[in-house]
Amino acid sequence: SNPVKLAVIPGDGIGPEVVAEALKVLDAVTADSDVTFEKTEYRLGAGRFLDDGEVLPAAEFEEIKKADAILLGAVGGKPNDPRLANANIERGLLLKLRFELDHYVNLRPTVVYPTVESPLKNPGEVDFVVVREGTEGPYVGNGGSIRIGTPAEVANEVSVNTAYGVERVVRFAFAQASARRKKLTLVHKTNVLVFAGKLWRRIVDQVSAEFPEVEVDYLHVDAATIFLVTDPARFDVIVTDNLFGDILTDLAGAISGGIGLAASGNINPDGTFPSMFEPVHGSAPDIAGQQIADPTAAILSVALLLSHLGLADASAKVTAAVQRDLASRSGARSTAQVGDSIVSLLN
């Protein structure tokens, strides 16, 4: 069969460190199968910007669009690097990919494996997935500032929610719930953000009629953070907007035993554009270059990628190897040692 064209964007900081391990695992799990991956690496991110001022050159973007899937490590430099003050790598690269490739589903699963030390004393059986809207909300850059730098400065950042955009992500979330434990929780802030709140509520109610088997629940986002800590086992599928989903999934990563375990898929379910798989975490400048980042999130992102490409067996093998590795963890290991261990536990 034709090779799978994989665009690889290692990025900055710990991005290249964790991507190296993810590719090790991808190579190993596909080694004696009929599938081959043709990888093309793109040097994009803060490092590239500092070299030549480029964030996402059109020619490279056109190539990436033609890939079958994208694997990304993390992008972004040190928060206070003055040379990056006007670079806006996050918007010009990461969000541009998500928006232009119409990644309207940002799928972020959380499982608390019993063998992993969670900061929660008794997490219970935690297995939920956050379906975060990926192309709208406060992320779209609809805003502006006036009288900048004066005491009269006004900065607006408007959240955009379209019926079309909300409906497609809500329908995807219901389908997920239907295939899982049949429970969907809408998380929003309808008591304050009433306009967007009404739209989300109404669409959830409407789509709910198509999925009568799915029980629907609603939580305000502030209360959702309570239950993510006190009773995370109550969740099956959470559907929420772009910004709430961003915040909730860092918390979800933390309760699962660390942000270094949290994987994600930026998915274009229609298949019009390549989907992009990446850890939830960022470039972690505070630990970059030390080979101490946990590559598990990047490796589990490969499992999501394999599953998205229809390679369910390979995906399950990666997840199982990660689980075995988590069960046998002891002492400090380097990033490469974790990757090697997971490769050795594949079967």
Terminal CA-CA length for the chain = 23
Contact call for residues 18 and 300 (beta carbons, < 8 A) = no
Binding pattern for the stretch 189-228 against ligand IPM, x by CB under 6 A and - elsewhere: ----------------------------------------
CA-wise closest residue to 228 among 241, 219, 215: 219
Catalytic residue, chosen from 189, 236, 317, 325, is: 189
Confirm or reject binding of residue 278 to Mn ion (CB under 5 A).
Answer: no
- Single residue of 222, 286, 289, 290 touching ligand NAD by CB under 6 A: 286
Q: Which stretch binds ligand IPM (CB under 6 A): 89-97, 163-171, 175-183, 186-194?
A: 89-97
Confirm or reject binding of residue 284 to ligand IPM (CB under 6 A).
Answer: no
User: Is 289 assigned a ligand-binding role in the annotation?
Assistant: yes
Contact call for residues 288 and 14 (beta carbons, < 8 A) = yes
DSSP element (H, E) containing 205: helix 194-208
Beta-carbon contacts of residue 278 (< 8 Å; ≥ 6 apart): 71, 72, 73, 74, 264, 266, 298, 301
Question: Contacts with ligand IPM: how many residues (CB under 6 A)?
Answer: 7
The encoded tokens of residue 323 equal 């689980």
Confirm or reject binding of residue 246 to ligand IPM (CB under 6 A).
Answer: yes
The encoded tokens of residue 312 equal 């369910």
Is residue 68 annotated as a catalytic residue, yes or no? Answer: no
Q: Which stretch binds ligand NAD (CB under 6 A): 31-39, 175-183, 210-218, 274-282?
A: 274-282
Is residue 250 annotated as a catalytic residue, yes or no? Answer: yes
Site for ligand NAD in 27-46 (CB under 6 A): none
Site for ligand NAD in 103-122 (CB under 6 A): none
Q: CA separation (Å) from 73 to 15, 210, 282? A: 4, 37, 8
Q: Which stretch binds ligand IPM (CB under 6 A): 40-48, 57-65, 90-98, 331-339?
A: 90-98
Q: Cα–Cα distance between 50 and 82 in angstroms, integer?
A: 11
Q: Which stretch binds ligand NAD (CB under 6 A): 52-60, 73-81, 115-123, 224-232?
A: 73-81
CA-wise closest residue to 253 among 243, 263, 241, 267: 263
User: Is 310 assigned a ligand-binding role in the annotation?
Assistant: no
- φ/ψ of residue 7, rounded to 5: -85, 130
Q: Cα–Cα distance between 242 and 220 in angstroms, integer?
A: 15
User: Is 291 assigned a ligand-binding role in the annotation?
Assistant: yes
Is residue 246 annotated as a catalytic residue, yes or no? Answer: yes
Q: Cα–Cα distance between 335 and 326 in angstroms, integer?
A: 14
Binding pattern for the stretch 236-265 against Mn ion, x by CB under 5 A and - elsewhere: ----------x-------------------
Q: Cα–Cα distance between 33 and 53 in angstroms, integer?
A: 41
State the residue number with the nearest CB to ligand IPM.
90
Q: CA separation (Å) from 278 to 71, 79, 106, 231, 250? A: 6, 20, 10, 27, 14
Is residue 139 annotated as a catalytic residue, yes or no? Answer: yes
Catalytic residue, chosen from 27, 205, 217, 222, is: 222
- Single residue of 280, 299, 305, 318 touching ligand IPM by CB under 6 A: 280
Is residue 81 annotated as a catalytic residue, yes or no? Answer: no
Q: Cα–Cα distance between 329 and 227 in angstroms, integer?
A: 28
Catalytic residue, chosen from 102, 139, 236, 325, is: 139
Give 156's strand partners: 144
Binding pattern for the stretch 124-163 against ligand NAD, x by CB under 6 A and - elsewhere: ----------------------------------------
Interface positions with ligand NAD (CB under 6 A): 14, 18, 74-77, 90, 94, 259-260, 278, 281-287, 293-294, 297
Interface positions with ligand IPM (CB under 6 A): 76, 90, 94-95, 246, 280, 282
Interface positions with Mn ion (CB under 5 A): 246
Catalytic residues: 139, 189, 222, 246, 250
Annotated binding site for NAD(+): 282-294
